[in-house]
């Protein structure tokens, strides 16, 4: 274990008023701080590990009581960080928790940096780097599906998978290295074929894992969808229907929405930021012009653009221009007001965007909305490549390292196939192992670690 000689402290609960607020302390002085600051008529030292004690936090300088608290001391190594951890559960008022923290700092602890508790847990071998990264994903998850994926990461499902790949690779490497020591050519070639097949098996497993990334990334990071179209086609009605509440003003007056309206929803466990925008038309009215300028900005940053058309009237020049200006984006062509008599030229409509089948909906009555949700997800994930897997990749760092692993494995295979000396294949296998070690954090550079833990909040 990597011993830290300083003791860190931070407020672990969110700011504001709550039932309780927790100050968390980790390091060699946790117990000493407890003796300095905690008073209880019923408790005699030494404290038992993992027990809850009732008493007061006092200011040693003045002897005054800061708050009535519950404390627990978790002795190393059975704690989150692997060090002695003290948790002080006080009343959840902003001033109270801060006052308790101030006493802890005054008594010798240092304010913790972002993610420092989890960083210590990782450095002390309580979790590997993928688990530490998942802790933050768990806290920031925006949908239940995101939460489930992050929890699987914290529990070490990805770590187990990677550990299996590493063990298999190490076995392959050692059998290849024993071949290198054995100088009969015939036997060597027979082993080369077996080794190459086994490497192929590992590549397949990695490819299988990589295929889960596209959807995994969406579940973790979400998706932005902008609804655009002429005025009055039903954009705000669609936002309200997808949201399941009356959020945007809907009227029969063209030009009702001036500003954009952004709301978060969950579609099949993917957090989707949905934006309703001002209707696009030629306008000289300054507020409307400003609103339309925003639409193009929003579209630029969108993953998917829903172009909404009114099916109860014929296509207009504005409809065609909006479609033309979005051709470089991922478009969903959606025809609204399917409950009214259709006036639109269906043949022309079908040919408007090659490869995009128009979808008929009624934003007002909800027809076609489940299919629209499916199309949003299918467009984002790229339908057809959904892979059944017990582990889903969600993190770009893991994906990049796995791609490098697969590339090194392919080099090893190519080297064996071309009859080069097995040393070259062994070298490529070692490279592959290094990339795998990077994912779990065994060889990860300090600046990469800094970037990872900078995403964390203080107190985690």
Binding positions for Mg ion, rule: CB under 5 A: 235-236, 256-257
Under rule CB under 6 A, residue 364 binds ligand GTP:
yes
CB 441 within 8 A of CB 435: no
Q: How many CB atoms lie within 10 A of CB 313?
A: 16
Q: Which one of 37-45, 188-196, 226-234, 288-296 is the stretch in contact with ligand GTP (CB under 6 A)?
A: 226-234
Q: Out of 231, 271, 368, 459, which residue is the one contacting ligand GTP (CB under 6 A)?
A: 231
The yes or no reply on residue 275 touching ligand GTP (CB under 6 A) is no
Residue pointed to by tokens 């990461």: 153
Out of 257, 408, 413, 415, name the contact with ligand GTP by CB under 6 A: 257
Tell me, by CB under 6 A, how many residues bind ligand GTP: 24
Distance CA 82, CA 3 (A): 10
Shortest CB 261 distance to ligand GTP, Å: 10
Q: Are 273 and 262 in contact (CB under 8 A)?
A: yes
Contacting residue, 340, 417, 448, 454, with ligand GTP by CB under 6 A:
340
Q: Measured from the CB of residue 371, what is the shortest distance to ligand GTP in angstroms?
A: 14
Q: Identify which of residues 73 and 226 has a Cβ nearer to ligand GTP in the complex.
A: 226
Q: Least CB distance from residue 317 to Mg ion, whole Å? A: 20
Cβ 383 to ligand GTP, closest distance in Å?
26
User: In the numeric block, which tokens belong to residue 68?
Assistant: 């009535």
Helix orientation angle between 144-154 and 129-140, rounded to the nearest 10 degrees: 160
Residue 351 C-beta: closest distance to ligand GTP, Å: 24
233 binds ligand GTP per the rule CB under 6 A: yes
Nearer to Mg ion, 143 or 336 (CB): 336
The CA-to-CA distance between both ends of the chain, in Å, stands at 20
Q: Confirm or reject binding of residue 358 to ligand GTP (CB under 6 A).
A: no
Position 363 contacts ligand GTP (CB under 6 A): yes
| Residue corresponding to tokens 């991922």 | 330
By CB under 6 A, tell whether 114 contacts ligand GTP. no
Shortest spacing between CB 222 and ligand GTP, in angstroms: 23
In 155-234, alpha helices (H): 157-181, 185-210, 213-221
Phi-psi region of 337 (alpha: psi -120 to 50; beta: other; left: phi over 0): left
Give which of Mg ion, ligand GTP, none residue 231 binds (C-beta under 5 to 8 Å, depending on kind). ligand GTP
Least Å from the CB of residue 270 to ligand GTP: 24
Nearer to ligand GTP, 1 or 254 (CB): 254
- What is the CB-side half-sphere exposure of residue 63 using CA atoms within 13 A? 0
Nearest to 258 by CA among 296, 293, 287, 230: 287
255 binds ligand GTP (CB under 6 A): yes
Query: Under the criterion CB under 6 A, does residue 383 sit at the interface with ligand GTP?
Result: no
Contact yes or no for 308/237 (Cβ under 8 A): no
> Are 208 and 285 contacting, i.e. CB atoms less than 8 angstroms apart?
no
Find the helix packing angle between 116-123 and 129-140, rounded to 10°.
Answer: 150
Strands 52-58 and 65-74: antiparallel
Question: Between residue 298 and residue 337, which ones bind ligand GTP under the rule CB under 6 A?
Answer: 336-337
User: Which residues contact ligand GTP by CB under 6 A?
Assistant: 229, 231-237, 250-252, 254-257, 278-279, 336-337, 339-340, 362-364
């Amino acid at each position: 274990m990597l011993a830290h000689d300083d003791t860190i402290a931070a407020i672990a609960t969110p700011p504001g008023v709550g039932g309780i607020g927790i100050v968390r302390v980790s390091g060699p002085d946790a117990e000493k701080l407890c003796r300095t600051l905690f008073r209880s008529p019923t408790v005699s030292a030494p404290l038992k590990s993992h027990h809850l004690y009732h008493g007061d936090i006092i200011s040693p300088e003045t002897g005054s009581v800061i708050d009535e608290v519950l404390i627990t001391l978790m002795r190393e190594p059975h704690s989150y960080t692997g060090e002695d951890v003290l948790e002080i559960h006080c009343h959840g008022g902003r001033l109270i928790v801060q006052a308790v923290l101030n006493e802890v700092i005054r008594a010798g602890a240092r304010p913790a940096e972002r993610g420092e508790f989890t960083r210590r847990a990782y450095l002390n071998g309580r979790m590997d780097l993928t688990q530490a990264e998942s802790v933050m994903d768990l806290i920031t998850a925006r949908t239940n599906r995101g939460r489930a994926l992050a929890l699987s990461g914290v529990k070490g499902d990805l770590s187990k998978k990677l550990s299996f790949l590493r063990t298999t690779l190490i076995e392959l490497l050692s059998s290849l290295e024993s071949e290198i020591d054995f100088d009969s050519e015939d036997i060597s070639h027979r082993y080369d074929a077996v080794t190459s097949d086994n490497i192929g098996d590992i590549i397949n497993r990695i490819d299988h894992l990589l295929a889960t990334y596209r959807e995994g990334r969406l579940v973790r990071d979400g998706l932005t969808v902008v609804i655009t179209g002429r005025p009055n086609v039903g954009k705000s009605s669609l936002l309200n229907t997808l949201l399941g509440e009356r959020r945007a003003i809907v009227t029969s007056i063209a030009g009702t929405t001036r500003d954009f309206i952004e709301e978060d929803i969950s579609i099949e466990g993917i957090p989707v930021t949905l934006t309703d925008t001002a209707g696009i038309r030629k306008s000289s009215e300054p507020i409307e012009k400003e609103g339309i300028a925003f639409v193009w900005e929003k579209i630029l940053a969108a993953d998917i653009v829903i172009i909404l058309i009114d099916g109860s009237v014929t296509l207009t020049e504005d409809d065609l221009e909006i479609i033309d200006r979005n051709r470089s984006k991922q478009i969903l062509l959606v025809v609204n007001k399917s409950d009214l008599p259709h006036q639109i030229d269906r043949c022309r409509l079908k040919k408007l965007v090659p490869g995009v089948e128009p979808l008929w909906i009624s934003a007002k009555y909800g027809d076609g909305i489940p299919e629209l949700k499916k199309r949003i997800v299918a467009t984002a994930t790229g339908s057809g490549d959904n892979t059944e897997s017990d582990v889903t990749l969600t993190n770009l760092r893991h994906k990049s390292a796995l791609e490098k692993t697969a590339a090194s494995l392919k080099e090893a295979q190519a080297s064996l196939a071309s009859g080069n000396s097995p040393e070259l294949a062994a070298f490529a296998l070692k490279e592959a192992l290094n990339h795998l070690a990077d994912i779990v954090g065994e060889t990860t550079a300090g600046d990469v670690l800094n970037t990872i833990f900078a995403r964390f909040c203080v107190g985690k």
